[in-house]
Amino acid sequence: MHITITGNLGSGKSTICKILEDKYGFEIYSTGKVQRELARQMNMTTLEMNQLMCSDHKYDNMIDDTTARISRENPDKNIIFDSRLAWHFVEKSFKVFLSVDLNIAAERVLKDNRGKEEQYSSVEEAKEKLFQRAQTENLRYKDIYNLDYFNFSNYNLVVESTYASPELIASVIMKEAKDYYGLVADNHGDMVKVSRILLSPKSLYKEEVNKEEANTLKSKIVEYEKIKGLPDVRIAAQKDGDNYQVLSGMNEVKAAKEADVPFLLTALDIH
Protein backbone atom coordinates (compact mmCIF):
# COMPACT_ATOMS: atom_id res chain seq x y z
CA MET A 1 0.00 0.00 0.00
CA HIS A 2 1.00 3.58 -0.69
CA ILE A 3 -0.64 6.04 1.72
CA THR A 4 -0.25 9.80 1.35
CA ILE A 5 -0.87 11.81 4.52
CA THR A 6 -1.35 15.56 4.65
CA GLY A 7 -3.49 17.92 6.69
CA ASN A 8 -3.70 20.96 8.90
CA LEU A 9 -0.61 22.26 10.64
CA GLY A 10 -0.48 20.75 14.12
CA SER A 11 -2.73 17.83 13.23
CA GLY A 12 -0.15 15.21 14.26
CA LYS A 13 0.94 13.95 10.82
CA SER A 14 4.52 13.09 11.78
CA THR A 15 3.50 11.29 14.98
CA ILE A 16 0.90 9.19 13.18
CA CYS A 17 3.32 8.37 10.36
CA LYS A 18 5.85 7.16 12.94
CA ILE A 19 3.22 4.85 14.48
CA LEU A 20 2.40 3.45 11.05
CA GLU A 21 6.10 2.84 10.53
CA ASP A 22 6.74 1.21 13.92
CA LYS A 23 3.53 -0.81 14.27
CA TYR A 24 2.65 -1.69 10.69
CA GLY A 25 6.05 -1.77 8.97
CA PHE A 26 5.62 1.12 6.55
CA GLU A 27 8.56 3.03 5.19
CA ILE A 28 8.22 6.81 5.54
CA TYR A 29 9.10 9.23 2.76
CA SER A 30 8.73 12.77 4.00
CA THR A 31 9.18 15.88 1.90
CA GLY A 32 12.42 16.47 3.78
CA LYS A 33 13.66 12.98 2.96
CA VAL A 34 12.81 13.42 -0.72
CA GLN A 35 14.53 16.81 -0.68
CA ARG A 36 17.69 15.29 0.81
CA GLU A 37 17.67 12.54 -1.82
CA LEU A 38 17.37 15.12 -4.58
CA ALA A 39 20.19 17.17 -3.05
CA ARG A 40 22.40 14.08 -3.04
CA GLN A 41 21.61 13.47 -6.70
CA MET A 42 22.61 17.07 -7.45
CA ASN A 43 25.72 16.83 -5.22
CA MET A 44 24.46 19.67 -2.99
CA THR A 45 23.84 20.21 0.71
CA THR A 46 20.26 20.51 1.95
CA LEU A 47 20.96 24.15 2.87
CA GLU A 48 22.00 24.88 -0.70
CA MET A 49 18.88 23.07 -1.88
CA ASN A 50 16.67 25.21 0.37
CA GLN A 51 18.26 28.40 -0.91
CA LEU A 52 17.63 27.37 -4.50
CA MET A 53 13.99 26.51 -3.77
CA CYS A 54 13.34 29.99 -2.37
CA SER A 55 14.38 31.59 -5.63
CA ASP A 56 13.12 29.12 -8.23
CA HIS A 57 9.94 27.00 -8.16
CA LYS A 58 11.44 24.48 -10.54
CA TYR A 59 13.00 22.78 -7.51
CA ASP A 60 9.54 22.28 -6.01
CA ASN A 61 8.66 20.58 -9.28
CA MET A 62 11.79 18.43 -9.11
CA ILE A 63 10.84 17.26 -5.61
CA ASP A 64 7.31 16.53 -6.79
CA ASP A 65 8.72 14.51 -9.69
CA THR A 66 11.02 12.64 -7.30
CA THR A 67 8.04 11.80 -5.05
CA ALA A 68 6.15 10.41 -8.05
CA ARG A 69 9.21 8.44 -9.17
CA ILE A 70 9.71 6.85 -5.73
CA SER A 71 6.11 5.68 -5.85
CA ARG A 72 6.42 4.28 -9.38
CA GLU A 73 9.68 2.48 -8.64
CA ASN A 74 8.41 0.86 -5.42
CA PRO A 75 4.97 -0.60 -6.21
CA ASP A 76 5.51 -3.56 -3.86
CA LYS A 77 6.58 -1.56 -0.80
CA ASN A 78 4.30 -0.29 1.95
CA ILE A 79 5.11 3.42 1.93
CA ILE A 80 3.78 6.42 3.85
CA PHE A 81 4.31 9.74 2.09
CA ASP A 82 4.34 12.50 4.72
CA SER A 83 4.03 15.52 2.48
CA ARG A 84 1.75 18.48 1.79
CA LEU A 85 1.13 17.54 -1.85
CA ALA A 86 2.13 13.90 -2.28
CA TRP A 87 -1.59 13.04 -2.55
CA HIS A 88 -1.54 14.87 -5.88
CA PHE A 89 1.79 13.65 -7.25
CA VAL A 90 1.89 10.02 -6.14
CA GLU A 91 0.12 8.29 -9.00
CA LYS A 92 -1.68 5.62 -6.95
CA SER A 93 -2.27 6.11 -3.24
CA PHE A 94 -4.81 6.11 -0.44
CA LYS A 95 -5.11 9.84 0.25
CA VAL A 96 -5.53 10.92 3.88
CA PHE A 97 -6.16 14.42 5.26
CA LEU A 98 -5.87 15.05 9.01
CA SER A 99 -7.99 17.93 10.27
CA VAL A 100 -7.74 19.60 13.68
CA ASP A 101 -9.31 22.48 15.57
CA LEU A 102 -7.05 25.54 15.25
CA ASN A 103 -7.02 26.16 19.01
CA ILE A 104 -5.79 22.63 19.71
CA ALA A 105 -3.25 22.85 16.87
CA ALA A 106 -1.87 26.07 18.37
CA GLU A 107 -1.50 24.45 21.79
CA ARG A 108 0.33 21.49 20.24
CA VAL A 109 2.86 23.49 18.23
CA LEU A 110 3.51 25.79 21.19
CA LYS A 111 4.59 22.75 23.24
CA ASP A 112 6.63 21.17 20.44
CA ASN A 113 10.31 21.87 19.93
CA ARG A 114 10.25 22.76 16.24
CA GLY A 115 13.43 24.82 16.08
CA LYS A 116 13.92 28.55 15.88
CA GLU A 117 11.94 28.75 12.63
CA GLU A 118 8.74 27.86 14.53
CA GLN A 119 8.76 29.56 17.91
CA TYR A 120 5.73 31.26 19.46
CA SER A 121 5.28 33.31 22.60
CA SER A 122 1.63 32.39 23.21
CA VAL A 123 -1.24 30.22 22.00
CA GLU A 124 -2.81 33.28 20.38
CA GLU A 125 0.38 34.06 18.42
CA ALA A 126 0.68 30.41 17.36
CA LYS A 127 -2.98 30.38 16.31
CA GLU A 128 -2.61 33.55 14.23
CA LYS A 129 0.58 32.42 12.53
CA LEU A 130 -0.73 28.92 11.81
CA PHE A 131 -3.81 30.44 10.20
CA GLN A 132 -1.71 32.86 8.12
CA ARG A 133 0.69 30.11 7.06
CA ALA A 134 -2.15 27.82 6.00
CA GLN A 135 -3.75 30.57 3.94
CA THR A 136 -0.42 31.49 2.34
CA GLU A 137 0.37 27.88 1.46
CA ASN A 138 -3.08 27.34 -0.02
CA LEU A 139 -2.69 30.42 -2.22
CA ARG A 140 0.76 29.21 -3.26
CA TYR A 141 -0.59 25.77 -4.22
CA LYS A 142 -3.35 27.39 -6.26
CA ASP A 143 -0.85 29.66 -7.98
CA ILE A 144 1.75 27.00 -8.80
CA TYR A 145 -0.37 23.86 -9.18
CA ASN A 146 -3.99 25.06 -9.46
CA LEU A 147 -4.92 22.91 -6.44
CA ASP A 148 -7.45 23.54 -3.67
CA TYR A 149 -5.60 21.98 -0.75
CA PHE A 150 -8.49 22.25 1.73
CA ASN A 151 -11.12 20.73 -0.53
CA PHE A 152 -11.91 17.47 1.28
CA SER A 153 -13.17 15.85 -1.93
CA ASN A 154 -9.49 15.53 -2.96
CA TYR A 155 -9.00 12.81 -0.36
CA ASN A 156 -10.18 9.25 0.26
CA LEU A 157 -10.26 9.75 4.02
CA VAL A 158 -10.52 12.81 6.24
CA VAL A 159 -9.95 12.12 9.95
CA GLU A 160 -10.24 14.67 12.72
CA SER A 161 -7.38 14.49 15.20
CA THR A 162 -8.63 17.10 17.70
CA TYR A 163 -9.74 14.66 20.40
CA ALA A 164 -8.52 11.24 19.24
CA SER A 165 -5.19 9.65 20.14
CA PRO A 166 -2.55 9.21 17.40
CA GLU A 167 -2.66 5.43 18.04
CA LEU A 168 -6.40 5.30 17.37
CA ILE A 169 -6.09 7.42 14.25
CA ALA A 170 -3.29 5.21 12.92
CA SER A 171 -5.47 2.11 13.42
CA VAL A 172 -8.41 3.82 11.67
CA ILE A 173 -6.20 4.78 8.74
CA MET A 174 -4.97 1.20 8.43
CA LYS A 175 -8.48 -0.26 8.48
CA GLU A 176 -9.78 2.26 5.96
CA ALA A 177 -6.73 1.79 3.71
CA LYS A 178 -7.13 -2.00 3.72
CA ASP A 179 -10.83 -1.66 2.86
CA TYR A 180 -9.94 0.76 0.08
CA TYR A 181 -7.25 -1.43 -1.43
CA GLY A 182 -9.72 -4.32 -1.29
CA LEU A 183 -12.01 -2.26 -3.54
CA VAL A 184 -9.05 -1.52 -5.80
CA ALA A 185 -8.34 -5.26 -6.11
CA ASP A 186 -12.01 -5.88 -6.96
CA ASN A 187 -11.68 -3.13 -9.56
CA HIS A 188 -8.74 -4.96 -11.21
CA GLY A 189 -6.14 -2.55 -9.91
CA ASP A 190 -7.81 0.71 -10.94
CA MET A 191 -8.03 3.33 -8.19
CA VAL A 192 -11.58 4.15 -7.14
CA LYS A 193 -13.03 7.35 -5.71
CA VAL A 194 -14.20 6.86 -2.15
CA SER A 195 -14.42 9.84 0.20
CA ARG A 196 -15.14 9.34 3.90
CA ILE A 197 -15.07 12.12 6.50
CA LEU A 198 -14.74 11.09 10.16
CA LEU A 199 -15.39 13.88 12.66
CA SER A 200 -15.55 13.87 16.45
CA PRO A 201 -18.96 14.25 18.10
CA LYS A 202 -17.21 16.62 20.52
CA SER A 203 -16.52 19.01 17.64
CA LEU A 204 -19.94 18.56 16.09
CA TYR A 205 -21.65 19.44 19.39
CA LYS A 206 -19.50 21.47 21.78
CA GLU A 207 -22.12 22.04 24.49
CA GLU A 208 -22.89 19.67 27.34
CA VAL A 209 -25.70 17.17 26.82
CA ASN A 210 -28.18 17.93 29.60
CA LYS A 211 -29.62 15.25 31.88
CA GLU A 212 -33.07 15.29 30.28
CA GLU A 213 -31.64 14.77 26.80
CA ALA A 214 -29.32 12.03 28.07
CA ASN A 215 -32.29 10.17 29.59
CA THR A 216 -34.17 10.45 26.29
CA LEU A 217 -31.15 9.10 24.40
CA LYS A 218 -30.25 6.46 27.01
CA SER A 219 -30.92 3.38 24.86
CA LYS A 220 -28.98 4.85 21.93
CA ILE A 221 -26.09 5.78 24.23
CA VAL A 222 -25.93 2.24 25.62
CA GLU A 223 -26.02 0.89 22.05
CA TYR A 224 -23.12 3.13 21.01
CA GLU A 225 -21.10 2.18 24.09
CA LYS A 226 -21.15 -1.46 22.91
CA ILE A 227 -19.96 -0.67 19.39
CA LYS A 228 -16.32 -1.23 18.54
CA GLY A 229 -15.58 1.28 15.79
CA LEU A 230 -17.98 3.53 13.91
CA PRO A 231 -21.72 3.45 14.64
CA ASP A 232 -23.74 2.50 11.57
CA VAL A 233 -25.08 6.04 11.12
CA ARG A 234 -24.28 8.92 8.81
CA ILE A 235 -24.94 12.48 9.86
CA ALA A 236 -24.77 15.71 7.87
CA ALA A 237 -23.06 18.93 8.94
CA GLN A 238 -21.99 22.27 7.59
CA LYS A 239 -18.60 23.80 8.35
CA ASP A 240 -18.01 27.50 8.82
CA GLY A 241 -14.56 28.37 10.10
CA ASP A 242 -13.77 26.19 13.12
CA ASN A 243 -17.40 25.43 13.95
CA TYR A 244 -19.94 22.90 12.68
CA GLN A 245 -23.68 23.14 12.28
CA VAL A 246 -25.33 19.74 12.36
CA LEU A 247 -27.90 19.56 9.56
CA SER A 248 -29.28 16.10 10.34
CA GLY A 249 -28.63 13.47 13.00
CA MET A 250 -28.30 15.72 16.07
CA ASN A 251 -29.61 13.00 18.40
CA GLU A 252 -27.01 10.61 17.03
CA VAL A 253 -24.29 13.21 17.60
CA LYS A 254 -25.35 13.79 21.22
CA ALA A 255 -25.63 10.07 21.94
CA ALA A 256 -22.21 9.42 20.40
CA LYS A 257 -20.69 12.22 22.46
CA GLU A 258 -22.16 10.81 25.69
CA ALA A 259 -20.94 7.30 24.76
CA ASP A 260 -17.45 8.67 24.03
CA VAL A 261 -17.57 7.48 20.41
CA PRO A 262 -14.44 8.94 18.73
CA PHE A 263 -15.82 9.52 15.23
CA LEU A 264 -18.99 9.79 13.22
CA LEU A 265 -19.19 9.35 9.45
CA THR A 266 -20.15 12.81 8.25
CA ALA A 267 -21.50 14.24 5.02
CA LEU A 268 -19.98 17.71 5.15
CA ASP A 269 -20.88 20.90 3.31
CA ILE A 270 -18.07 23.48 3.48
CA HIS A 271 -18.76 27.22 3.29
Mean predicted lDDT score pLDDT of the chain:
88
Asked which of 171, 197, 223 is the last residue of a domain, the reply is 197
Q: 40 and 97 in one domain?
A: yes
* Contact assessment for residue 265 and residue 230, using Cβ atoms and an 8 Å cutoff: yes
Q: What is the reported pLDDT for 30? A: 86
Condensed to tens digits (0 to 9), the pLDDT of residues 206-263 reads 999 999 999 999 999 999 999 877 888 899 999 877 788 999 999 999 999 999 999 9
Q: What is the reported pLDDT for 117? A: 47
Q: 136 and 60 in one domain?
A: yes
Q: 213 and 179 in one domain?
A: no
For position 123, which CATH number holds?
3.40.50.300
pLDDT band at 19 (very low <50, low <70, confident <90, very high): very high
CA distance 120 to 225: 40
Higher pLDDT, 18 or 137: 18
Q: 182 and 87 in one domain?
A: yes
Condensed to tens digits (0 to 9), the pLDDT of residues 89-138 reads 998 999 999 999 999 988 888 887 655 445 677 888 888 888 887 887 78
Q: 211 and 188 in one domain?
A: no
Q: What is the reported pLDDT for 271? A: 52
* Ordered strands of the 2-7 beta sheet: 27-30, 79-82, 2-7, 94-99, 157-160, 196-199, 264-270, 234-240, 243-248
Asked which of 197, 231, 247 is the last residue of a domain, the reply is 197
Give the Cα-Cα-Cα angle 183, 189, 195 (nearest 5 degrees). Answer: 40
Q: What is the reported pLDDT for 101? A: 92
Q: 246 and 212 in one domain?
A: yes
Q: Which residues span the domain enclosing 259?
A: 200-270
Q: 214 and 188 in one domain?
A: no
Q: Summarize the confidence of residues 148-167 as an average pLDDT.
A: 94
Q: 227 and 112 in one domain?
A: no
Q: 186 and 134 in one domain?
A: yes
Condensed to tens digits (0 to 9), the pLDDT of residues 40-94 reads 888 877 667 767 776 777 877 887 888 899 999 999 999 999 988 999 999 899 9
Q: What is the reported pLDDT for 247? A: 94
Q: 214 and 163 in one domain?
A: no
User: What total of structural domains would you count in the chain?
Assistant: 2
Asked which of 197, 222, 253 is the last residue of a domain, the reply is 197
Q: What is the reported pLDDT for 27? A: 94
Q: Which residues make beta-bridge pairs with 172?
A: none
Q: 154 and 65 in one domain?
A: yes
Q: 205 and 190 in one domain?
A: no
Q: What is the reported pLDDT for 81? A: 95
